[in-house]
Amino acid sequence: MTKQEIEKNVELIKEISGCDPYKCMRCGKCSGSCPSFNEMDIKPHQFASYIINGNVEELVSSKSLWKCLSCFACIERCPRNVEPGKLIDAARQLVERERGGDHLQAEDIPELLNEDVPQQLLVSAYRRYRR
């Protein structure tokens, strides 16, 4: 990614998630809640700093992107309203947008079903994407 692309993607993640990563105080309550913690390479409490430091490429190519169950425990419990679950969800959207264009139709969903993609991801993607 070029510098411009990184900046664009950081802005996009902030916009899609509606979250401010700068609010994170690194308390770790997200990582202390996450049921997929052990399978993740980048841990939930690191999401915010990856975005702040522009390490979007690592984030979108991480295992964590597909290991997040969208259980929303971190969103529910985050004391700072950073809501790491929404940040990683937004990062996933970046990938999904690249893949499927800018719109998601209900009839496209069966095609997208595969073992690695949690069903909740599709539900939240559909919620955000239908126009």
Partner 1 sequence: MQRIGVFVCHCGSNIAATVDVKKVVELVRYEPGVVFADDYMYMCSEAGQEKIIEAIKENKLTGLVICSCSPRMHEKTFRACAEKAGLNPYMVEIANIREQCSWIHKDREEATEKAVILARAAIAKVNLNTPLQEGESPVIKRALVIGGGIAGIQTALDIADAGYPVDIVEREPSIGGRMSQFDKTFPTLDCASCILTPKMVEVNQHPNITLYTYSEVEGVSGYVGNFEVQIKKKARSVDMAACTGCGECQAKCPLGKMGKIPSEFDRGLKNRPAIYMPFAQAVPAVPVIDRENCTYFKTGKCGVCAKICPSKAINYEQEDEIVTEKYGAIVVATGFDIINLDKYGEYAYNESPDVITSIELERLMNAAGPTGGHLERMSDHKQPKDIVFIQCVGSRCDDEKGKPYCSKVCCMYTAKHAMLIKDHWPDTNVTVFYIDVRTPGKNFDEFYRRAVEQYHVNYIKGQVGKVIPQPDGSLMVQGVDLLDNKQIMKKTDMVVLAAAIEPNKGVRKIATMLTASIDNNDFLTEAHAKLRPVESPTAGIFLSGMAQGPKDIPETVSQAGAAAVKVVGLLAKDKLKTNPCTAKCDPMFCNGCSTCANVCPYGAITYEDQLVRGPGVNETRRVAIVNIALCQGCGACTTACPSGAMDLQGFSNRQITTEVDAICQ
Interface with partner 1 (CB under 8 A): 23, 25-34, 37-38, 43, 45, 73, 76-81
Residue-level length of the chain: 131
Q: Are 9 and 94 in contact (CB under 8 A)?
A: yes
- Comparing CB distances to partner 1, the nearer of 78 and 125 is 78
Question: In whole angstroms, how close is the CB of 78 to partner 1 at the nearest point?
Answer: 7
Distance CA 101, CA 40 (A): 27
Question: In whole angstroms, how close is the CB of 29 to partner 1 at the nearest point?
Answer: 4
- Comparing CB distances to partner 1, the nearer of 73 and 109 is 73
Nearest Cα residue to 53 out of 86, 93, 13:
13
- Comparing CB distances to partner 1, the nearer of 80 and 97 is 80
- Comparing CB distances to partner 1, the nearer of 33 and 124 is 33
Question: In whole angstroms, how close is the CB of 130 to partner 1 at the nearest point?
Answer: 29
Is 97 exposed, middle or buried (CB count within 10 Å of its CB: 0-12, 13-18, 19+)? middle
